Amino acid sequence: QLQLRESGPGLARPSETLSLTCTVSGYSIRNSSSYWGWIRQPPGKGLEWIAALYYSGSISYNPSLKSRVLISEDTSKNQFSLKMTSVTAADTAVYYCARYLKFYDAFDFWGHGTMVTVSS
Amino acid sequence: EIVLTQSPATLSLSPGERATLFCRASQSVNTYLAWYQQRPGQAPRLLIHDASRRATGIPARFSGSGSGTDFTLTISSLEPEDFAIYYCQQRSNWLTFGGGTRVEIK
């Protein structure tokens, strides 16, 4: 049974670096059928794709966030992670990790999300 | 960046009624469009991929259509659990989401 679980600090200070990890169970992140991505949702607002990676090392970023984000994987732990630098209050959001299944070319499995508040 | 505009912002309907939601792209996305449902406090759920193909386990009352720049999600007869927010998402050029349509109980 595939499960994704986001983890990270619930609070970040402005200008700091935010680090989030997604732990995947029941499915290998090295499976060639899938990409893995991060999506966020500010309170009361819509969805914004942040980044995605493929186990082969292929990575793509939302151009509007590219200068501040880094997505990486740890296949030994079946995890992938997101780092976002120089955070501001505008980065306050629920952050979701999700599987992007190539068969669907869409995000078919999502974690429950983790709320991150940026505040001093 | 391809901008997706969803309309209406809010749809007020009664259970059993038909819901028609629209998604317009700022340039052609072919059929590279998906629809998601998000219930309060939950993560989004994939409903439709490639504009018209239902994901596994999605009831037949959900259907999608369209190509190019204009797309439609139809819920043939609303069930109580269908009152939620719906998002479209394109993958033609990077990945972007529409602003959402809230389907609320009238």
pLDDT in tens, A51-76: 999 877 889 999 999 999 999 999 99
Task: Determine contact, residues A70/A80, Cβ cutoff 8 Å.
Answer: no
Other CB atoms closer than 10 Å to residue B6's CB: what's the count? 23
Q: Which of A47, A63, A111 sits opposite B87 (nearest CB)?
A: A47
Distance, CA of B62 to CA of B76 (rounded, Å): 7
Interface mutation vs chain B, best among A40, A47, A69, A108, most B CBs within 10 Å: A47
Distance, CA of A75 to CA of A29 (rounded, Å): 7
Q: Residue B97: is its pLDDT beyond 80?
A: yes
Can you give the pLDDT at residue A57? Answer: 80
Residues 6+ apart with CB under 8 A from A45: none
How far from the centroid of its chain's Cα atoms is residue A3's Cα? 14
Task: Determine contact, residues A21/A41, Cβ cutoff 8 Å.
Answer: no
Three-state DSSP at A21 gives: strand
- Does B96 sit within 8 Å of A106, measured CB to CB? no
Q: Which residue of B has its CA nearest to A4?
A: B43
Can you give the pLDDT at residue B93? Answer: 84
Q: Which of B34, B43, B99 sits opposite A111 (nearest CB)?
A: B43
For strands B10-13 and B101-105, give the pairing.
parallel
Distance, CA of A7 to CA of A26 (rounded, Å): 17
Task: Determine contact, residues A113/A8, Cβ cutoff 8 Å.
Answer: no
Can you give the pLDDT at residue B73? Answer: 98
Q: CA–CA distance from A35 to each of A59, A72, A73, A115, B27 (Å)?
A: 9, 12, 11, 23, 25
Tell me, what DSSP letter sits at residue A91? Answer: G
- Does A60 sit within 8 Å of B55, measured CB to CB? no
Q: Residue B35: is its pLDDT beyond 90?
A: yes
pLDDT tens per residue across span A73-116: 999 999 999 999 999 999 999 999 999 999 999 999 999 999 99
